[in-house]
Amino acid sequence: MQREYGRRPVAPKDLPGEKAIVNGALALFAGLLALVTVRHEMFGDEAQAWLIARDSRNLLELAQHLRYEGHPALWYLLLYLPAHLSAPLALMHVLNYALSVTMAWLVLRERRLPVATRVLSIFGVFVFFHMGVPARSYMLAAVLLVGAARCLLADRPRHWLAMVLLALAINTHFLAIPAAAGIFVWLYWLDPVAGERVAVGRLRERRFWLSAATLGAALAVCYLTLRPAPDGATPDYDIAGASWLDYLMIGTGRLWSYFVPFIPEMLRGSLREKLIPELHPSAVAAALSVGLWLLVVASLGTRRGRWFFASTSLLWMAAMLATVHTPSPHHVSTLFVILLVALMLNSQAEGGRPWLPFRYAQPVLVLLLAMQMVMSLECSVLEWDQPFSSAEATAAWLEHAGLAQRPLVVEPDYAASVVLARTGVMSAYFPSCDCQGQFVVFRKGRDETRLVSVEEIQAVKRSSGAVPVVLSHWQLSGDNLQQMGLRLVFTSPHGVFWPYEDLYAYSDTSGAKTEATAARP
């Protein structure tokens, strides 16, 4: 907000007992998140970042590796030093846990938000689970974005600290860029209530252009790590024959189900595809998402909050279409951060009124946040009860069986990340690329469905002088196993969320403690 030209908001007063509620909610958040984090079994995307940081010999090589990842560098830079110092992999979760508690503190101490909104926000599925439990770059981006927003909205704005935080946020995740742009425009430059005088006044300030140059430089650095390598490929995000309009309909159609506690597993056949589209556009699902978006816009009580949320969320959608095409819950967590900043602009200090009648607007927002808590509880219970990553159990078994020093063959290659990171094994043979690798490299020609051949097994035996351990998502046929001189020695527990991560281990039995573990139902 423009302090020199615009109005100075009245600082909200603490309600009786508010401090106790805030401190109690923060303690409860920290305790519950610690319990769920301890039970969390790391999956491939988490371990992939650690392996890239560990196995990049220098920062220039790290930047080259990131061109195949499609992610900016900041999270990898945080992991670079501890990974090179042989720190335990669990340090990633410690770091993300510290960021999560910081995020909860930033939200709970934001007095522009009602106490109920603060508490519901931190215990919702995006803050508590999707960003708080998996150790990835999303929570880092959220902390930087919310911190920047608070700096600009403070009674005594910390402008340059906000610009530094936004510049760092730009280099955490590509979907943080729209949020950073929206915060810069609507929390610093434009004010719909103060009018054009504030915007024109900003343009005359040297600080405005230095701030814009700072964020422009951050975008340039981000581009250097985001630009795809010439031989890069991301088949997981591509749908055969889909146009940009198809991606728009599919991506938009998925959004509503991420904000409403709806259980997709209850749907089957055409009804599921119509309500939560996977491969084909659905006008019904897209209409549900647009309706939910309009409901949020109408419930926001200030012009600046509505303008910020509407423009920034649309910019987020454009960034999503240009990159991943169809968002996952982790991607949508950055959209929730945009909503959270919009709620910060929904303060009575901003003035204005919602498009909906007052008696409906606040309950709509509270209900939306309350539904996030329902999904958070469901996901946390499933996380506690059943594993996410069968690769963790396989890595523990390899060490227990004394097979961690054997050569590894892993198919498909993305199953290797957790195993390599947990065991400290430096590389494995990947049939998907017919290559020895330290982590997954998403290059053209990579065939994740390709199975290892008898000839490849023999070649690994000759080069290493030992019988390899073959880790596969598929059960290999008896004839192939007999020709390879292998047999099934381990079956991982069955993951409740991603059954395609189940692993089968094949090897011989000489000099090893082998065991077969039945799949969890």
Q: Are residues 378 and 401 in the same domain?
A: no
Diameter of the chain measured on Cα atoms? 80
Q: Are residues 352 and 473 in the same domain?
A: no
- pLDDT for 520 equals 39
Q: Are residues 379 and 348 in the same domain?
A: yes
In contact, 234 and 444? CB cutoff 8 Å: no
The residue ranges of the chain whose pLDDT is under 50 are: 1-10, 511-521
Provide the domain limits for residue 149.
18-385
Number of domains in the chain: 2
**H helices of 300-408, where?**
303-322, 329-344, 358-385, 390-400
| DSSP label of 276 | S
Q: Are residues 429 and 334 in the same domain?
A: no
- pLDDT for 212 equals 97
Q: Are residues 115 and 216 in the same domain?
A: yes
Q: Report if residue 97 sits inside a domain.
A: yes
| DSSP label of 195 | -
Out of 365, 385, 405, pick the residue that ends a domain. 385
In contact, 493 and 521? CB cutoff 8 Å: no
As given in the structure block, the two tokens for residue 478 are 């008896």
Out of 334, 360, 385, pick the residue that ends a domain. 385
Q: Are residues 345 and 410 in the same domain?
A: no
- pLDDT for 497 equals 57
| pTM as predicted | 0.92
| DSSP label of 443 | B
Q: Are residues 336 and 418 in the same domain?
A: no
Mean pLDDT of the chain: 88
Q: Report if residue 354 sits inside a domain.
A: yes
In contact, 49 and 76? CB cutoff 8 Å: yes
- pLDDT for 113 equals 93
pLDDT in tens, 52-89: 999 999 999 999 999 998 899 999 999 999 999 888 88
- pLDDT for 131 equals 97
